[in-house]
Chain A
Amino acid sequence: MSIFIDNNTRLLVQGITGRDGSFHARQMAEYGTQVVAGVTPGKGGQKFDAGNGTMVPIFNTVEAAVAETHANATVIYVPPMFAADAMMEAAAAGIPLIVCITEGVPVLDMTRVYPFIREHGARLIGPNCPGLITPGQSKVGIIPGRICAPGPIGLVSRSGTLTYEVVDQLTRAGLGQTTCVGIGGDPIHGTTFTDCLMAFQADPATQAIVMIGEIGGSDEQDAAMYVGRDVTKPVIGFIAGRTAPPGRRMGHAGAIISGAGGSAADKVAALRDAGIPVADRPVDVVDLVRSRMPSSVPKAVAWR
């Protein structure tokens, strides 16, 4: 089991002929993801070589791609000025899962995209995120497949490389993952920590959850309240940015301490108040997870 993506995910790649889109379409296909279609306006009718003899049809519009291939998820690698439109086009075409990797989407664009996606009943992950992976089944985005392994841990994070660091340490320690989700570093994003915690709580295969937060906003505090109320599985936290100065944007557009509640100390306190142990160092995540896991968990085996 897993959350959001699995063997049945039929993936569309928006921006499949671009530099990033083409590279990652091949990486995803190589991992085993069913890449069923690509969209690049003006290149409809052509084929994209995803490697291993897989020729992926390219369409001019998302609507045509969905009608032809029954894609049920899309990943977006288009430039920032076109990303809002790409997300809305996907939602309007009825795709239920939209993952936007693009970094640099204007925040006012997101104020329009967010309600549009909701009205169409779709789930948006990102933007400015590494995507997600269900090890051994499907990868949507850019998380390196070889650091993951199937297993009982659900992981959700606002970051990219920090996620890889923690996943790598979990896998090396024999703790595989059900699904790893990068929700993105922008101030307005489609899927929150709470959304992912809800999904992991409902997923029978997930036995423990790791959440990796950072400074800015109050998503982590909302998640802590939800955990205190409704999550029965063990949750382990980490918060990045304890040394970040207030008022400065630490790389991610959303990673800025402004007003009340945005600091690492506030978030750590909220998590601990909800009974969530918070690791002081990334390496401590592994020990905290292990100390709260049932002893019968089988060792993870690297999938590839």
Chain B
Amino acid sequence: MNIHEYQAKDLLRTFGLPVQPGEVAETPEQVEAIAKGFGGPVVVKAQVHVGGRGKAGGVKLAKTPADARTIAAKILGMDIKGLTVEKVLVAPAVDIASEAYVGIIVDRASKRAVFMVSPAGGIDIEQVAAETPERICKLAVDPRYGLLPYEASNLAFFLYQDGARARAASQILQKLYAAFISCGASLAELNPLVTQPDGSLVAVDAKMVIDDNELDRRPSIAALRDERSEDPSESAARAAGLTFIKLEGNVGCVVNGAGLAMATMDLVKYYGGEPANFLDIGGSSNPEKVVNALKIITADPSVRVILFNIFGGITRTDDVANGIVQAVTRHPLRVPLVIRLTGTNDEEAVKILASHGMSAMTDMDAAVQRAVELSGRAAA
């Protein structure tokens, strides 16, 4: 789960990290009032879950409260990579002597939480990794001991020559690790971690990603989810217990299992079509899931055909067939349906479908070819 910059900063402050002050606003009037309160120039920052906000014009410096109001009026409601800006963060502008990068991710290769730090901050760390990898220092943390003080100190001295600054950075690294673990994060970044002219350190931007699997045991963090910042079809799918990802094509796909769902999309492409979505209805045999899946897919006007690909192992294909019948009875489809099902109770499933005037195929390739053919015909 992505959380907004202002939410990440609020969380990190509670762990004692030096984070730039700031307040969140939803109207230009609020922005002006906040800017007045801070006095002096402020930065107005769009709160959306995409990278490259700055380049898209979503981050601007305002010299006066009136400026801040004008700028906020432009940024609020702005479309950044398909997402509408609903909130902005207003923060006092900071004088920058130098910028560093500090981050933690869960690394699959070492199977540990790994720190990455670089004195080249303020830019995309992947760019630093590609161009000047020697300016990045990595450290895999042993989960039994956590980040040991000497390890934090080693990383801190990679960032700063000055002893006092390195001591401060060492404290920041240990607090960031504590926040990372306590919040169940899979990523936490301070970028940039700014050295101010007086030598003090402050995080000017912060990013955190929370492991979805942690949310059940962290209700206060789960409550940070901002539904308005997601594609509505994806939040509807999550509420229905489905995994759904919207894509650009016109062949709607309903599949059981993530691997088979990906393979089905790939096969659609192989036969010259374009998948409209990734959708995994999971392993359970609940007809209601099928009803919800169809509701979500048919809400997309670009969908020209819907392809079911069900391999019944634990999933009972007769349950899926019942779900299809229920769904199309309640909400008749405006696009053709191609059903492929095989496995557990498939004879029963075919009977159920046949009694409602539908048929099913058993071969995956044949079904995908048929769906692609129909998608082309409907579009023409």
Contacts and interface: CB of A to CB of B under 8 A. Distances in A.
Contacts of B283: 142, 160
Interface in B226-267: 243, 245, 247, 255-263, 265-267
B214 A106 contact: yes
Nearest to A219: B108
A244 B262 contact: yes
Contacts of A115: 111, 142-144
Interface string A180-217: 00000101100000000000000000000000101111
A250 B262 contact: yes
A143 B313 contact: yes
Contacts of B111: 110-111, 114-115, 188
B266 A240 contact: yes
Contact of B263 (A81, A112, A162, A252): A162
Given A111-B143, A164-B343, A244 B184 contact: no
B245 A185 contact: no
A212 B260 CA distance: 11
B259 A252 contact: yes
Contacts of A245: 245, 247
B162 interface: no
B260 A165 contact: yes
B126 interface: yes
Question: A interface, by DSSP: helix, strand, loop or mixed?
Answer: loop
Given A111-B111, A164-B311, A280-B270, A241 B262 contact: yes
Contacts of A241: 262, 266
Contact of A157 (B213, B259, B262, B315): B259
A159 interface: yes
Name which of A105, A111, A142 has the most chain B CB atoms within 10 A of its CB. A111
B178 interface: no
Nearest to A104: B213
B323 interface: no
B97 interface: no
Given A107-B211, A108-B184, A251 B278 contact: yes
Interface in A103-152: 104-108, 110-112, 114-115, 142-144, 147
B216 A80 contact: yes
A144 B314 contact: yes
Contacts of B344: 144
B266 A161 contact: no
Interface of B is mostly: mixed
A112 B261 CA distance: 31
A75 interface: no
Contacts of A244: 262, 265, 278
B249 to A, nearest CB: 9
Nearest to A23: B314
A148 to B, nearest CB: 11
Nearest to B216: A81
A30 interface: no
Contact of B259 (A104, A212, A217): A212
Nearest to B218: A106
Interface string A2-26: 0000000000000000000000000
Interface of B: 106, 108-109, 111-113, 126, 142-144, 181, 184, 186, 211-214, 216-217, 243, 245, 247, 255-263, 265-270, 275, 278, 280, 283, 311, 313-315, 342-344, 364-365
Q: Which 8 A-B pairs have the closest CB atoms?
A: A159-B259, A251-B258, A161-B257, A162-B259, A240-B262, A161-B260, A144-B313, A251-B280
11 contacts: A107-B186, A111-B106, A112-B143, A144-B343, A168-B342, A187-B106, A188-B108, A218-B109, A240-B262, A250-B245, A281-B267
